[in-house]
Chains A and B, each alone.
Chain A
Amino acid sequence: MILPEFYDFCGRAKIVSGENALEKIPALLAGLDAGRPLIITDPGVENAGLVDVVKQAMAPGLESAPVYSDVPVDSDYHVVDQIAGVYRENQCDAIIAVGGGSVIDTAKGVNIVVSLGGKTLLDYQGAGAVRKKLNPLVILPTTAGTGSEMTLVAVIADPERREKMLFVSYFLLPDLAVLDARMTRTLPDFITAATAMDALSHACEAWYCMEKNPLSDTLAFQAIGLISQNLLYVIKNPEDTQARLALANASTLAGAAFSNSMVGMVHNLGHATGAVCHVPHGNCMAVLLPYGLEYNLHRRNEIIGQLLLPLAGPETYAATPRNQRAEKAITLIRQFNQDLHDAIGGRHPRFLSEIRDRDGRRLVEKNMLPEIAEKALSDGARVPNPEELLADDAHMVLEYAWEGTPLDRTKIKTG
């Protein structure tokens, strides 16, 4: 275990996990001196009946809570301000966010406005704007997942200026992150696969990027083990609550790991691909993860080799010679993508050219790759990546990721 020259770690959210975790929320809120939460969610989650499940579970301890269920996929500050108005009208004193990344980020934004008393979220832009404890925030992730319940960041769009505002503060971490299998039990198989691969990429990148530290390492290790043992099983047995809970835990652990150890080029290229081609985040991560590992192999060979232990188990780890472990880990991840692709009837993409929308149209065309490579320069996830990634390096990697062939490592510039 490497103790770096410097590190910091903060995982301040209280994690409550279990088959009856939802029932514990009223008492936990009472412990935080709150009893009138506003439930924030999106139309998809509400239509899936998950909000009713939450309300029913909380019913003995909590009166009915108002619900705002119109959070769009790409949330912006107008939505945040609107929800803040609803919070104040109903004299709420807490927020329960039920949903995925967009809902969670929106809820964090709302919490800033209602706790600090401003009119609009725009008043709180800039470093150091949030320096006080906010009102109680409970997050119930419905995917497994983005890990946003463990991050100190909220990304909210500013549609007028066409940019994404970044809010960073430890006070944005929720008071409670509640993991209950009922929230993910009905998740469709292709979303389960995509979000779990997102979590896997969080954990793997936290393992090998430049900010790795002992705590993020063990959290990432646990997360990778849980995903590799449970994901394919859950695809085939979606009703198994223990396995669903395992994936939910893995996602939260991976979120805690990457929040403190940062991510690298997989997220860098993935964010850019998502921005240019509107590809779902999880699909980008799944496709790009093996390429990220290959690109950084010359700098992190031994460390990437250690990933083989949680991915394949101790027997395979012991049987593989040390200098082959990294390559084997990368092969396993590619195989994982292949197995998911087969198990979900082809809906899980293995490479960029395979990503299609509902109408079967390809989302990433080869002529878009230069634009994606340029866009990747503006994303902060480049910095923690062990090897430098400039526009032409990114373009080279994207071309291989588009075709689906392993990276030709002789083409990587090593300086």
Chain B
Amino acid sequence: MNRFTPFSTAPADLGHYPEIRPKTSYFRKTYIAVMLLVVGRGLEAAARVDPTVRRIFQHLPDGFCLCLGVGPAGPWMIAKKDKKGRLRYLGWRRRAARAHLRLAIKNLASAMRVFTFQESTAQAFNYDRFTVEGSLPQALAFMRALDRVEVYLLPKVIARLAVKRYPGSSELPGWKKHLNRIRIYLRAFFPDLIRVIYKNI
């Protein structure tokens, strides 16, 4: 609309009808940010420890960069395959580097449902909570990796809510699961976690 033409001789007093700027929900944003940090570090660790996750990321192209988070204003998790072909969690600041795959949950409320396990990842996908920019096969591969990471990071009673099928002992024997879980937690929350946080602040 370029030129304003009043529709009536007594137009409304705009002062009675203020514009409303949306607010930010800091608690939800912080919670999701922490969860994404855990997922990112967990992915990086699982890619070294678990053969299924490793195979998934091996098939992705070199320099592959993925971005998972909540649109439009974050928080985000960025991970990238380095020159040695290993997946590295880069933090939460969106860099200039173009993400080959961006999975964005459409809003914080939906992200809360996913990250409080009221909806599994698959169900959230079905409910159209995600926008996928990039290759769909890569997005599906990433979701398989994410499912496996959730099995490691979460106790069974919660992981069963997050994944479609909790792997039985034929797919993932109990001893192996617990051993890998310990290894992933150690890798995820020690040595260079502090370096990553420092880089992103």
Contacts and interface: CB of A to CB of B under 8 A. Distances in A.
A378 B140 contact: yes
Interface stretch (A24-32, A113-121, A383-391): A383-391
B171 interface: yes
B169 to A, nearest CB: 10
Nearest to B167: A415
Given A378-B140, A383-B122, A413 B171 contact: yes
Contacts of B123: 210
Nearest to A377: B140
A323 B89 CA distance: 50
B131 A383 contact: no
Interface string B164-196: 111110110000000000000000000000000
Contacts of A6: 127
A347 B49 CA distance: 51
A382 B143 CA distance: 11
B136 interface: yes
B132 A127 contact: yes
Contacts of A415: 165-168
B35 interface: no
A390 B141 CA distance: 11
Contacts of B137: 377-379
Interface residues of B, number: 25
Contacts of A217: none
A8 interface: yes
Contacts of A378: 136-137, 140-141
Contacts of B163: 388
B51 to A, nearest CB: 14
Contacts of A414: 165, 168
B125 interface: yes
A6 B133 CA distance: 23
A49 interface: no
Contact of A382 (B127, B140, B171): B140
A8 B128 contact: yes
Nearest to A388: B165
A390 B163 CA distance: 13
Contacts of B9: none
A188 interface: no
Nearest to A413: B168
B60 to A, nearest CB: 12
B126 interface: yes
Contacts of A388: 163-165
A360 interface: no
A383 B141 CA distance: 11
A126 interface: yes
A211 interface: yes
B126 A127 contact: no
Contacts of B122: 210, 383-384
A210 B126 contact: yes
A128 interface: yes
Interface in A271-308: none
Given A380-B140, A388-B164, A211 B131 contact: no
Interface of B: 119, 122-123, 125-128, 131-133, 135-137, 140-141, 143-144, 163-168, 170-171
10 contacts: A7-B127, A163-B135, A210-B123, A262-B126, A377-B137, A383-B125, A383-B143, A413-B168, A414-B168, A415-B168
Minimum-distance CB pairs A-B, first 3:
A378-B137, A388-B165, A415-B165
Given A210-B126, A378-B140, A415-B166, 7 more contacts: A7-B127, A163-B135, A210-B123, A377-B141, A383-B125, A383-B126, A388-B165
